[in-house]
Structure 1
Amino acid sequence: MPLYIKDPEVDKLTAELVGLTRTSKVEAVKAALKHEIAHRKGSLPMRDRLAKSLAMARAAGPFAPGDHKRETDEMWGED
């Protein structure tokens, strides 16, 4: 669904950003939204930012059994 905002203040802010960045309204709004999203994600607590990685690690389970030292040595061509 297209975004349609009828707000004079938003229009004024968009025009100011367009002037500063010398881009189109679409590009200015897109850049502003991306910047705000990145800012918000960066301010999340570390626990929340790592939750997805932790869930993937738990789903993968422990390391597979085997002689990892021997396998690494073989991979590097060492005895």
Structure 2
Amino acid sequence: MPLHIEDEEATAAVRALAKVRKLTLTEAVKVACQEALERDQRAQPVALRLAAIHARVRAAGRTGEKADKAFFNREWGETE
């Protein structure tokens, strides 16, 4: 899918990043976008970042397993 960047400053920034990191132009755009998104996500309050995790945990439901010492020993491959 083509992406045409007609802004000279943006093009120069992508070319500079590609040169410094020895990337293709496509890789440079991809890396820059991923890093910016990660930075934005880290800037969100912890409560918002954890909300999605909490929702997934609640949606998973109960397994019926009892999380006692024997359970954790089994998970770690330990025997009593």
When the two structures are superposed, what TM-score results if normalisation uses the length of structure 2? 0.70
* Distance across 2 between alignment mates of 1:67 and 1:14: 53
Runs of 4+ in 1 over 3 A off after TM superposition: 60-64, 66-78
Deviation at 1:14, TM superposition (A): 1.1
2:58 is matched with 58
- Aligned positions of 1:23-34 closer than 5 A: 23-34=23-34
How many residues align structurally? 77
Measured after TM superposition, the shift of residue 51 of structure 1 is: 0.6
Whose radius of gyration is greater, 1 or 2?
Answer: 1
* SS at structure 2 position matched to 1:9: helix
Match of 1:72 in 2: 71
Give the Cα separation in 2 of the matches to 1:21 and 1:12.
Answer: 14
In the alignment, the residues of structure 1 paired with residue 39 and residue 70 of structure 2 have an alpha-carbon distance, to the nearest angstrom, of: 43
- Provide structure 1 residue ranges, at least 5 long, that are not aligned to the other structure: none
Displacement after TM superposition at 1:63 (Å): 7.0
Q: If the length of structure 1 is used for normalisation, what is the TM-score?
A: 0.71
Q: Cα offset for 1:68? A: 5.0
In structure 2, runs of 5+ residues without a counterpart are: none
